[in-house]
Amino acid sequence: MIEIKNLSKEFKNIKAVDDISFKVSNGEIVGLLGENGAGKTTTLRMIATMLKPTGGTAAINGFDLVKEPDMVRSQIGILFGGEVGLYDRLTARENIKYFADLNNMDDKEADKNIKELTELLGMEEFIDRRVGKFSRGMKQKVAIARSIVHKPSVMLFDEPTIGLDVTSSVIVQDFILSCKKNNRAIIFSSHSMQEVEKLCDRIVIIHKGKIIEDSTIEDLKEKYSGNLEEVFVRLVGGKDEL
Ligand SMILES: Nc1ncnc2c1ncn2[C@@H]1O[C@H](COP(=O)(O)OP(=O)(O)O)[C@@H](O)[C@H]1O
Ligand SMILES: [Mg+2]
């Protein structure tokens, strides 16, 4: 359960995130949709405790983001797009294990979870090979395993499919849907209406740091008679003219 309350982040003169509030229930995928520079990454980095808010807070399973960042951190799994940042000289297993250690997991539990994830993601053939020469898709699987090895109940995805080929994108999308099945609360950011429509229960549209729409897909479709891509361009484009 994620409750974002009046969250803000100001960088010098820029209000990157400007007083946003929304909730995500367990088993729900909320799509955070916005153009480049809208404030998606800043929002997710604050929820992930990687960046301090300049205003407001969030409650993650009841833990306060500002007052209990360590507790919040233990509830959260993160998969951010772009370079996945694995250690090339370590094996896939060692990379995942290292992350489990950072989350204070005991060895036995970490080993058990890694075994499960290896089967689930089909990593048997390469789990004990160094990741340096892995394909993008293989690295993506290791990054997925790493994001969830501590069994977090909240998952944050920041444009996780950016730059991926179709096969790797589908692996990530299936993973997001499996998180929903396991009753996790999920925020998924994207600038693609199509992808958001495919995965999300609800959409929060963010523009210049502010929420301009928060609605279920069905309600959005009804409100704007169907064509969501057009709606997005219209909402965001319209705001630019103000
Ligand atoms: N560390 C930073 N210092 C200054 N400005 C930043 C920093 N990070 C992001 N911004 C600015 O905040 C705004 C929102 O950025 P970001 O959250 O990355 O947007 P998005 O992920 O939606 O593309 C942009 O105007 C960006 O230039
Ligand atoms: Mg971003």
Q: Please name the amino acid found at residue 38.
A: A
Give the residue whose CA is nearest to atom 5 of ligand 1: 11
Residues with CB under 5 A from ligand 2 (ion): 40-41
Q: To 10 degrees, the CA torsion angle through 41, 43, 49, 55?
A: 140
Global confidence as pTM: 0.92
Range of the domain at 205: 2-83+153-241
**113 is a domain residue:** no
Distance 43 CA to ligand 1 centre (A): 10
Counting ligands in written order, which one lies closest to the CA of residue 43?
Answer: 1
pLDDT tens sequence across 148-160: 999 999 999 999 9
**68 is a domain residue:** yes
Angle, vertex CA 221, rays to CA 26 and CA 7, nearest 5: 45
Counting ligands in written order, which one lies closest to the CA of residue 46?
Answer: 1
What is the reported pLDDT for 242?
43
Among 82, 88, 25, which Cα is nearest to 59's?
A: 25
Ligand 1, residues 42, 205, 207: which to mutate, most atoms within 8 A of Cβ? 42
Give the residue whose CA is nearest to atom 24 of ligand 1: 37
**231 is a domain residue:** yes
Confidence of residue 239 (pLDDT cuts 50, 70, 90): low
Tokens linked to 242: 């103000």
Among 63, 50, 126, which Cα is nearest to 94's?
A: 126
**119 is a domain residue:** no
CATH of the domain at 214: 3.40.50.300
**137 is a domain residue:** no
pLDDT tens sequence across 217-231: 888 888 877 777 777
Q: Express as a percent the part of the chain with pLDDT over 90.
A: 74
Task: Kindly list the protein residues whose Cβ atom lies closer than 6 A to any atom of ligand 1.
Answer: 11, 14, 16, 34, 36-42
Distance 62 CA to ligand 1 centre (A): 28
Contact 206, 34 (CB under 8 A): yes
**169 is a domain residue:** yes
Q: Which stretches of the chain are assigned E, i.e. beta strand?
A: 2-11, 14-24, 29-33, 55-60, 63-64, 76-80, 154-158, 185-190, 202-207, 210-216
**148 is a domain residue:** no
Number of structural domains, the chain?
1
Residue whose pair of structure tokens reads 């929420």 in the numeric block:
211
**93 is a domain residue:** no
| CA separation for the pair 15, 56 (Å, rounded) | 13
Residue whose pair of structure tokens reads 């916005």 in the numeric block:
34
Confidence of residue 17 (pLDDT cuts 50, 70, 90): very high
Distance 31 CA to ligand 2 centre (A): 13
